[in-house]
Structure 1
Amino acid sequence: MSPPKRSRKDSPPDDSTDDEQAVSKRPRRSDPTSALPIHPFFTGGSTKPASRGPVQWTEKSTLLIGVVGTQDLSRTSIAGFDFDGTIVTVKGSHVHAKNADDWKFFSTSVPERLLKAHEDGFRVVIFSNQKGILEGRSSAKQAFVGRVENVVKALETHCRKESKSLFPVLVLAGCGNDWFRKPRLGMWDHVEEEHRAVAPLDRSRSFYVGDAAGRPAAWMPGHKKDFADTDLKFAINVGIAFHVPEAYFPHPAPVVLPPVPIVPFPHSTHLENEVHYTPTTLPLIPENRDANHLDLVILTGFPASGKSSFARRFLGEKGYAIVNQDTLKTRPKCIAATKNFLLEGKNVVVDNTNPTRDVRQLYIEAAPDRLTVTVRSFMFTAPQELCVHNMLFRSFGQPRPRKHIPSVAFATFAKNLEVPTTAEGFHEVKSIRFVAEFRSDEEKRMWSLHYS
């Protein structure tokens, strides 16, 4: 019997405080933004160095690179630093620097400590998120470049007072929402690539200092909560020690700092090898049916919740026709394809997000009355945070990046979601759990990174 049918209804700041599938070897991402729009400032690939005082500036895709002095690639230990909120702060209570002169050292000890890191054998590297440059924020590029150059001049003055030469510094600014943006590893990969022909980097001795550590409000009296935890996650992703600037650049009066919060990987439970679906009392694929009894499976779930992989592996390989709007482009075409496949005597799985009862009803009604069709719902239970992580991994963590899904798509699905029930006409509703499975250890490692 066909299922009962019902009537269809009418139908915080960027680094202006530094915010925020198979792989056989570590993927190289020389152009991690090839599928993303590029700001005119970055068109044409890498450019010839432009001298502004002691800093030589170049661009590589959406990565802005500043080089101070001759870089010694034999120094395999990296002393890494955030810029805004770590090396410098603004002159006032505002967030974004207004111009090249709107800065002061985070602490009077900054020049001394940077010089000491160099003298201790470290290569000094600044890693900064500067998305405001590509977002067209007024004078963002000029303010950042100008402040960096003014900081370098101040460091040079300090060194001269110590009768020493200015030490080399590498400045990296990720200006897009891509692989170069912390906590993603694009900027670290750039440094690693520079050292590849000389000597591998020593992560055991390297460290990173940043203010985005996820500390709660009042972590010290009078302090607001950190705007993000991206600096801490960046250090975790790289696998190096992490320090907050209050600890690395001590103020004149010593303070006792609370411990930095632990940021575990939030999706580790999905690495467990558990059953993919419940209830298990009924098989995933109906058994002992004659050829005239067809199965129509309608999927529901967030983007990047594992629907397509599940459909291909568990249904497509069993002969089910897969209907997907990414391929067919429009819902009417999907509905027509569903009906046509059923008329051809094929079992069908509708692999779309299908958030509402009304949308799902369109596919239920596509089953021709003269056919015997069992209609089932598979509800993918992966939470929004996990699905956003999966999307970022697919966009930035694989050698062949997939289309980046805007955050509004996840918010819209969550707002519109009506959880499927048998009252809609389904013979069965199964819950499908996301279980992370990988084709290589490298793919698992990349999925297990923090991406935001």
Structure 2
Amino acid sequence: MSRNTKDKTENWIQVFDSDAMYMIFTHKKCLPHTSISSFDLDDTLVTTSSGKKFSTSSTDWKFLNGYVVPKLQVFSETSKIVIFTNQKGLTHNGALDDAKCKEFQNRVESISKALEEVGVFIQVFAALEENIYRKPLPAMFDELLVGHNGGLKIDKSTSFYVGDAAGRMERKVKGKKVKKDFSCSDRNFASNLKIKFYTPEEFFLKEAPVSYENDAIDVTKFGRRDTKKTEDILNVNKTHEMVIFVGSPASGKSSFYEKYFKPNGYQWVNQDTLGSKSACLSAARKSIINNSVVIDNTNPSIEIREEYITIANKAGYQVRCVFFDYDKKISFHLNKFRAMVSTKKIPDIAIHSYFKKLELPTIAEGFKEVVKIPFEIDDCFKSAEERELFEMLF
């Protein structure tokens, strides 16, 4: 199976292109409905029959417990049964693994056949890459809404999602220790869709909800950045100076430079553009001659900042620091958003590395001033849809 294709068989639609990689399975008797009863697949509806963490073949599965099928039978009478599942393991470096893909399709068809025998007909959406189709983002649900539900409007008040990635902490169940959930993506998926959410234990076993911790951050709780107030805080003037940025990857430093410093003639030194620290130091020495300059790198350590401060001192320039005082969760959110609307996602390890190395900047290093920039939302979205995407839980 190649990319840049849209293949359709009797039951499957497969979309593999640069912006979307997903598959949709629809049983021929799975009919459109205004109410959607939706579920994750692995460790929610099914688990491995081998006892291993991941299935070893298309037949290595069994229903999670004895309550799954009866419950699906009940809800199939008044709603459409839909499965939304992330299956990035079917790809490698953006390319589809044909063998794994076929095995997954056979497993889905095997599950569908077992449910067909008890009068339950399913539709399955599988996201294959880390993009807007991957939970907790809503594009798979949007795809259902737009093209795979007969044009019917969905009643979200009667729809719900069940999944095991719920952010639950390590806990004991019947005396046995249960590991914390690997993420909160299923809970956040339901939240982004504005539908009810249940864990498998709550839905099938009627267990009470347990405490959880969300690994995403709600950016709607933060204020909007006031441009005039920010300009006043930065106090950009005609005095020649060096400004050293300190901030994590994907924190919007370059956009900040473009908006607040470039219009005032500040030169720009950036390692992503120049390629190495030595090139940045060389550019700083040249740029600072009769110019103000911004060092737009992460600059987490005192040692790195000292090299630039020395250059400024030799030129007789004052040095200020602009510190992007953002929580790590904010950095991850910004990184994921940026990857969806513009540039390639920065590896998570780069963000972890920055925060591990971070030494908080102080005046004692030789700065005239350390300007702290808290996280606030800049109104720089290209559309209402882009803003809506930004405000979702990732």
Scaled by the length of structure 2, what TM-score is found?
0.85
Paired residue for 2:3, among 29, 43, 46?
43
SS of the aligned residue for 1:91 comes to coil
Kindly state the Cα deviation for residue 404 of structure 1 after the two structures are TM-superposed.
Answer: 0.6
Does 2:85 align with 1:128?
yes
Does 2:88 align with 1:158?
no
Q: Paired residue for 2:60?
A: 102
Higher relative contact order (CA 8 A, sep 6+): 1
The one-letter code matched in structure 2 to 1:182 is K
**C-alpha separation in 2, matches of 1:110 and 1:302:** 45
Distance 1:377 1:263, change over 3 A: closer
**C-alpha separation in 1, matches of 2:222 and 2:335:** 17
Kindly state the Cα deviation for residue 309 of structure 1 after the two structures are TM-superposed.
Answer: 2.6
Kindly state the Cα deviation for residue 176 of structure 1 after the two structures are TM-superposed.
Answer: 1.7
Residue pairs, 1:290-439, within 5 angstroms: 293-343=239-289, 345-367=290-312, 369=314, 371-396=315-340, 398=341, 401-439=342-380
**C-alpha separation in 2, matches of 1:215 and 1:231:** 11
SS of the aligned residue for 1:365 comes to helix
| Contact map agreement 2:266 2:293 (CA 8 A) in 1 | yes
Does 2:235 align with 1:285?
yes
| Contact map agreement 1:42 1:59 (CA 8 A) in 2 | no
Residue pairs, 1:8-87, within 5 angstroms: 41-49=1-9, 55-56=11-12, 58-61=14-17, 62-69=21-28, 72-73=31-32, 75-87=33-45
The one-letter code matched in structure 1 to 2:378 is E
1:398-417 alpha-carbon deviations (Å, 9 max, x no partner): 3xx32110011112222332
Further displaced range: 437-446 or 175-184: 437-446
Identity %: 33
1:371-406 alpha-carbon deviations (Å, 9 max, x no partner): 43111122221122210111111112x3xx321100
Further displaced range: 235-244 or 131-140: 131-140
Kindly state the Cα deviation for residue 294 of structure 1 after the two structures are TM-superposed.
Answer: 0.9
**C-alpha separation in 2, matches of 1:301 and 1:109:** 50
**C-alpha separation in 2, matches of 1:354 and 1:66:** 48
Does 2:190 align with 1:235?
yes
**C-alpha separation in 2, matches of 1:182 and 1:264:** 14
The one-letter code matched in structure 1 to 2:274 is L
**C-alpha separation in 2, matches of 1:435 and 1:58:** 40
**C-alpha separation in 2, matches of 1:72 and 1:434:** 46
**C-alpha separation in 2, matches of 1:91 and 1:228:** 24
Q: Paired residue for 1:450?
A: 393
Kindly state the Cα deviation for residue 113 of structure 1 after the two structures are TM-superposed.
Answer: 2.7
**C-alpha separation in 2, matches of 1:103 and 1:144:** 11
- Structure 2 gaps of 5+ residues are none
**C-alpha separation in 1, matches of 2:4 and 2:260:** 45
Distance 1:365 1:313, change over 3 A: same
**C-alpha separation in 2, matches of 1:283 and 1:176:** 41
Scaled by the length of structure 1, what TM-score is found?
0.75
Distance 1:96 1:409, change over 3 A: same
| Contact map agreement 1:213 1:260 (CA 8 A) in 2 | no
Distance 1:384 1:273, change over 3 A: same
Residue pairs, 1:164-175, within 5 angstroms: 167=121, 169-175=122-128
**C-alpha separation in 1, matches of 2:74 and 2:50:** 29
Distance 1:308 1:239, change over 3 A: same
Greater per-residue helix proportion: 2
Larger radius of gyration: 1
